[in-house]
Structure 1
């Protein structure tokens, strides 16, 4: 299909960055992140567009999508990778940490889907891939807030997928297991899992879903990847 345009929300580190690295080889890519220095560094490194965007702000999300559409005309796919870690017992989490996790993982995901689907419906095609977590499938002790916010995203995707009524707009979700990324480090937690997949491995599957053509097999709403060697 030639070069296409993709947005990677949360693309300055971890899985999002790995996705962007794969896409820039053949496509136009816009990386979104909430830390200006990180966005600038990734944009320079990958030679792609970089947009500073806090997904917890609907105005910033709307402006970011408008900027990409104004620059490239269309959005062929959106990888929703932005997420905040909230590990630890509920009693140990500060109200500020809880609020921010909900703002990013729940509200932010909603805002991204709202704008993504607005533009995809307008143009009549495109894919959205939500990066969930295996923790949604099976409860794990010590991450009640993180699991709850990621479960919100899963429920949102399932409902939105059913609402499209078209194979040309695919709303998909991918549930990787633990990955050794900066997700935990950014809030001061350690990565403790002994079994994990690398973001580069999972990124291949995200990119495959993003590049599905409008007439490819209907997989909207499916949980595409649900294995990490743990369960």
Structure 2
């Protein structure tokens, strides 16, 4: 691991939500390797503890803040504890998310609500809590981990696609609000990436299909997304990579 005193993000403080697995976990590891102090939030406290131990063993600095980003008070607490314990919040990575499958026939509206509450409102809650600190500091970076599903709809995945469309629009909207105040905002849309995103899908057929999709040969690795995040953050402050897509090389769709 790069020394925290010499990496491109040395001296920066990052909060990563959804940090217990997948892209969030990889983002935390890559940020720490790049020199940032990292606060980690997710529901699974045991996994966060293991990630903190791994980062610290490699010479980095990390803090676990267990919580559920669909609960506004948890999102606010994650931001406030980051600032209290680490002195600032320079970087916010919105990686907490969930996927479910279900159609409009016999629609389970609770399923829709949960997907939107986490994927959209969880992002709103953390941004609303973090931006005042960034404005006071005079700079900041926000990256929302969205999905290529945010560019199109699909049968049985309309809740997920709708939540990601909304997250994309929200993220670009605040980019336009905050760019003149030295806060850079980025929408990062991964294609098929090896994560646990399909593990908790209720419908067994769609759970199998999504797990096969993200586990297929040539799928993007979570660390690839983590390295893309460091690349975005390492650009000169005059440059805001406002939107970036990372997909498997074999994905040649439009």
Please report the TM-score for the alignment, with normalisation by the length of structure 2: 0.82
Contact persistence 2:135–2:181 (CA under 8 A): no
Q: Which residue of 2 aligns with 1:43?
A: 52
Q: Which residue of 1 aligns with 2:4?
A: none
> Is 1:7 equivalent to 2:38 in the alignment?
no
Match of 2:239 among 214, 217, 221: 217
Q: Which runs of 5+ in 1 are unaligned?
A: none
Deviation at 1:96, TM superposition (A): 3.2
Tell me, what secondary structure is at the counterpart of 2:92?
A: strand
| C-alpha separation in 2, matches of 1:108 and 1:119 | 18
1:144-155 pair list within 5 angstroms: 144-155=158-169
Root-mean-square deviation (CA), in Å?
Answer: 2.0
In structure 2, the CA distance between the partners of 1:10 and 1:206, relative to structure 1 (3 Å rule), is: same
C-alpha distance in 2, partners of 1:92/1:18?
37
| Contact 1:36-1:52 within 8 A present in 2 as well | yes
Q: Which residue of 2 aligns with 1:54?
A: 68
Q: Distance between the aligned counterparts of 1:177 and 1:21, measured in 2?
A: 20
Preserved contact between residue 175 and residue 224 of structure 1 (Cα < 8 Å): yes
Max radius of gyration: which structure? 2
Q: How many residues align?
A: 228
Residues 69-95 of structure 1, C-alpha deviations (whole Å, 9 max, x = no match):
111221111111110111243446633
Structure 1 residues 180, 150: CA separation in 2 closer, same or farther (over 3 Å shift)? same
Runs of 4+ in 1 over 4 A off after TM superposition: none
Match of 2:41 among 32, 37, 58: 32
TM-score by length of 1: 0.90
Q: How does 1:164-175 map to 2 (within 5 A)?
A: 164-166=178-180, 168-175=182-189
Pair 1:23-2:67 in alignment? no
Equivalents in 2 of 1:53, 1:212: separation in Å? 31
